[in-house]
């Protein structure tokens, strides 16, 4: 497939990155976390609710409510709404669709929010009812939810490329160090290589520290024109390039690549840069093997060479080179459902605008954020990526 370069996102600004602090368990509904995120964005931008004329949301636990009932709860009357049920791919997609709406004049200021709650036994219920595929074709036969699916993907990748558990540990250890400097990370207990390798097995080659911890929380940002951001005197970032592809390589027996490999050349052409130009990289990190796939498919290293890439690069937030998942990502920050799909976008905006929460990277200019979502048995179906640039440059 030949990928056509998407049209420009010129004139669009992303501002007001917010995180509603994560909680391991919460009896509050997802609605509460959405409301807290919206309130925080309004405060950060100096806006009123009536200024918001667009809303894009993602959630696994909002039902039976929807985006339109959120509008009723919040007493807002937007001209543009979009509900994006695509998990870890949702943040980039929300930014893309909101950007196009602003460019076309369908809305002026759009709030993009991912939020979920985490109640006792809620994750089991989510996994059991994730899709008709999982409910009818996998779960009843003892499939171990995401851990089982990713153990299959991880083992296949290890067999194909000779990658070891110690190689995956390089990602997990770096992200734990980053989390220790980030205000909102849930998991800050020190972790060394010996502790990582000694962790109890969960499913096949997947061990404890290769898995994310489900939690409750929210992430969000505002999309508006650059002119509006300047008028409001808000630090902003621009979208230099963005793309998405779904259900790529569906004939592969087990996933070892995804849609990024198809659209990466056009993405870099659109953004007029290369992987070597990036200061920050935010891969969706539900499991370390997926980080490695993104590093390869997005051109940071050749296919099968991500283990060497991780060994050869100091990816910590205070390193002089490329920084990876500066907040600790999901592996040490927690996975707040669909909010995890917005985490990389929010952290990238923070870092590029100098608003980091304890873990500021030195003078970053460019960030690549990639998303991955909606896993059915042996593959994730959604692949997204965006290149963001510090505004005013």
Look at residue 351 in the predicted model and tell me its pLDDT: 98
Give pLDDT < 70 ranges for the chain: 1-6, 120-144, 393
Q: CA 229, 36, 224: angle at the middle one, nearest 5?
A: 20
Model pTM?
Answer: 0.95
Residues 6+ apart with CB under 8 A from 21: 184, 217
pLDDT digit string, tens, across residues 370-384: 999 998 777 899 999
State the pLDDT at residue 38. 98
Residue 40: what pLDDT?
Answer: 98
Distance CA 311, CA 245 (A): 29
Question: Which position has the token pair 């007029």?
Answer: 272
pLDDT in the model for residue 19:
98
Token readout for 362 is 């030195």
**Closest among 143, 193, 145 to 167, alpha carbons compared:** 193
Residue-level pLDDT at 119:
79
Whole-number Å distance between alpha carbons of 317 and 299: 21
Residue 324, pLDDT score: 98
The rounded distance, in Å, linking the Cα atoms of 127 and 145 is: 6
Q: Of 161, 176, 255, nearest to 208 (Cα)?
A: 176
* Beta pairing, strands 280-282 & 323-324: parallel
Q: How far is CA 139 from CA 78, 142, 205, 271, 374, in A?
A: 39, 5, 20, 42, 15
């Amino acid at each position: 497939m030949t990928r056509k370069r998407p049209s420009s996102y010129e004139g669009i600004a992303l501002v007001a990155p917010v995180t509603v602090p994560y909680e391991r368990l919460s009896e509050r509904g997802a609605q509460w976390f959405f409301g807290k995120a919206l309130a925080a964005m309004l405060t950060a931008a100096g806006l009123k609710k009536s200024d918001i004329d667009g809303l894009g949301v993602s959630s696994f636990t909002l039902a039976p409510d929807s985006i339109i009932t959120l509008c009723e709860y919040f007493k807002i009357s937007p001209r543009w709404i979009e509900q994006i049920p695509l998990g870890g791919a949702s943040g980039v997609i929300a930014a893309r669709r909101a950007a196009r709406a602003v460019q076309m004049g369908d809305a002026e200021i759009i709030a993009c929010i991912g939020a979920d709650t985490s109640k006792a036994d809620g994750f089991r219920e989510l996994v059991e009812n994730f899709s008709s595929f999982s409910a009818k074709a996998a779960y009843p036969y003892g499939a171990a939810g995401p851990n089982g699916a990713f153990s299959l993907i991880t083992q296949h990748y290890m067999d194909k490329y000779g990658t070891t558990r110690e190689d995956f540990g390089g990602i997990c250890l770096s992200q734990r160090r980053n989390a220790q400097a980030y205000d909102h990370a849930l998991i800050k207990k020190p972790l060394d290589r010996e502790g990582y390798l000694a962790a109890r097995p969960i499913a096949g080659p997947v061990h404890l520290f290769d898995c994310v911890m489900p939690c409750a929380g929210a992430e969000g940002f505002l999309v508006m024109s650059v002119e509006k951001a300047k008028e409001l005197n808000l630090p902003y970032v621009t979208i230099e390039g963005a793309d998405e592809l779904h259900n790529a390589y569906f004939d592969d027996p087990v996933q070892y690549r995804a849609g990024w490999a198809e659209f990466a050349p056009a993405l870099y052409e659109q953004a007029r840069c290369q992987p070597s130009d990036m200061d920050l990289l935010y891969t969706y990190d539900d499991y370390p093997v997926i980080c490695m796939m993104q590093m390869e498919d997005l051109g940071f290293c050749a296919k099968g060479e991500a283990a060497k890439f991780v060994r050869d690069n100091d990816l910590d937030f205070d390193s002089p080179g490329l920084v990876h998942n500066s907040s600790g990502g999901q592996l040490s920050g927690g996975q707040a459902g669909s909010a995890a799909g917005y985490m990389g976008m929010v952290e990238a905006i923070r870092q590029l605008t100098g608003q980091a929460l304890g873990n500021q990277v030195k003078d970053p200019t460019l960030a690549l954020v990639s998303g991955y979502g909606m896993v059915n048995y042996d593959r994730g179906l959604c692949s997204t990526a965006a290149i963001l640039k510090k505004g005013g440059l």
